[in-house]
Amino acid sequence: MIRIILSGGGTGGHIYPAVAVAEALKRRYEDNVEILFVGAEGKMEMEKVPALGYNIVGLPVVGLYRKLTLSHLTLPFKVVASVRRAKRIIKEFGADIVVGFGGYASAPILWAAQRLGVPTVIQEQNSYAGLTNKLLSKRAKRICVSYDNMGRFFPEERVVMTGNPLRGHFSATEGSRSEALKYYGFSDALPVVLVVGGSLGTRTLNEMMKAWILSLNGTAPVQVIWQTGKYYEQEMREFLGAHPTQNIWQGAFIERMDYAYTAADVVLSRSGACTVSELCLVAKPTIFVPSPNVAEDHQTKNAMALVERGAAEIVRDSEAIEQGMRKAVELAHDEHRLEELSANIAQLAISDSAERVVKIIAEVLAEAKR
């Protein structure tokens, strides 16, 4: 029996790649693998991971916030407690390998594993490496990455291009466009713009939609799938009710993301790692609006990695309310540019990322037995 610890958390961007790898491990090893997740107490992974059928234990570790607060005074004690508990977890579980997916939740378990002589693998989702992964890469056996030129952050000889593991199946060719359009009550008479800000929602993109709708005369020049997120659902529903506009579908969530991608001619989106990887796989012309409220401004760096290769366009968060939908409408009617962006972003897609990470895990396990 192979025993593997997977760790990462705080956001879906760290959790779901780990879950995708867990699913790929089960496909490869079937009943000959035991998987344990390690996360941070009180964070979303402690709820999401068990709901998907996996065991998880939490550590009392907390993140280091940009603003100095009283909680920083307890940080050293929580780090020490987390490392001690991490060592106990590794020994009791009998881990053969520990794989970290970034975020402060993975730091204690990776550090402890490296001191105990248990091999470690790191998976970095972003184009600009996170602090945890940079610090722990020195003793990691492999560093799996999703972007080129990551040797500037990690030991070059141990960097492996795997792409970003995703749950579910995404394809540029799968699905009927007519069926997708029908699902949203649309026709093929006008192009479709997908505005998506994540499950919780994005204030900037919602305010952008409000400003754009107010500039119209009750009929949009494109069809829009507008995902508001649950935080803004009621507010945005009331706004659209007060300003009824034809050709707009609005919802807090998008249950059929496959239909949304299939219907869309242009996507307006944040540029988190998982979202970028999905958009590469579905080969959609995209305008990124990076969130400015993330560590090391990594969303801007993710977006620029594509923009510099002619695979996407970008609108700064501070300019999005005024310019976002105007640029999206212009792009939706530019067939040549749409074809160019779609072809370029498709070249960056890696469809078997989870399997590539599992292959690296298997290689490291085999090396450890020699």
pLDDT of residue 76: 64
- Structural tokens at position 300: 């801007």
Q: What is the DSSP string of 91-148?
A: HHHT-SEEEE-SSGGGHHHHHHHHHHT--EEEE--SSS--HHHHHHGGG-SEEEESSS
Distance CA 179, CA 184 (A): 9
Helix (H, G, I), strand (E, B) or coil at 192: strand
Asked whether the beta carbons of 262 and 182 are under 8 A apart, the reply is no
pLDDT of residue 73: 53
Residue 157 has φ and ψ, to the nearest 5°, of -70, -10
pLDDT of residue 66: 44
In angstroms, the first-to-last Cα distance of the chain is 18
Tens digit of pLDDT at every position of the chain (370 positions): 999 999 987 776 788 899 999 999 999 999 999 999 999 888 888 998 999 999 999 998 765 444 444 454 555 656 778 889 999 999 999 999 999 998 778 999 999 999 999 999 999 999 999 888 898 999 999 999 999 999 999 999 999 999 999 987 676 655 689 999 999 999 999 999 999 987 778 999 999 999 999 999 899 999 999 999 989 999 999 999 999 999 999 999 998 999 999 999 999 999 999 999 999 999 999 999 999 988 788 899 999 999 999 999 999 999 999 999 999 999 999 999 999 999 999 999 999 999 999 999 999 999 998 7
pLDDT of residue 68: 46
Amino acid at position 181, single letter: L
What totals of helices (H) and strands (E) does the chain contain, helices first? Answer: 14, 13
- Structural tokens at position 287: 């305008």
pLDDT digits (tens, 9 = 90+) for 8-56: 877 767 888 999 999 999 999 999 999 999 998 888 889 989 999 999 9
Distance CA 44, CA 176 (A): 35
pLDDT of residue 13: 74
49-76 in b/e burial notation, b at 16+ Cβ within 10 A?
A: beeeebebbbbbbbbeeeeeeeeeeeee
- Structural tokens at position 362: 């298997």
> Which residues touch 208 (CB under 8 Å, ≥6 apart)?
195, 268, 289, 320, 321, 324, 325
pLDDT digits (tens, 9 = 90+) for 89-105: 999 999 999 999 987 78
pLDDT digits (tens, 9 = 90+) for 120-140: 999 999 999 988 889 899 999
Strand partners, 268: 195, 287
Helix (H, G, I), strand (E, B) or coil at 216: coil
Whole-model pTM: value is 0.89
Asked whether the beta carbons of 196 and 271 are under 8 A apart, the reply is no
For residue 296, the 8-state DSSP code is G
Q: If we measure between CA atoms, which residue out of 91, 324, 67 comes closest to residue 193? A: 324
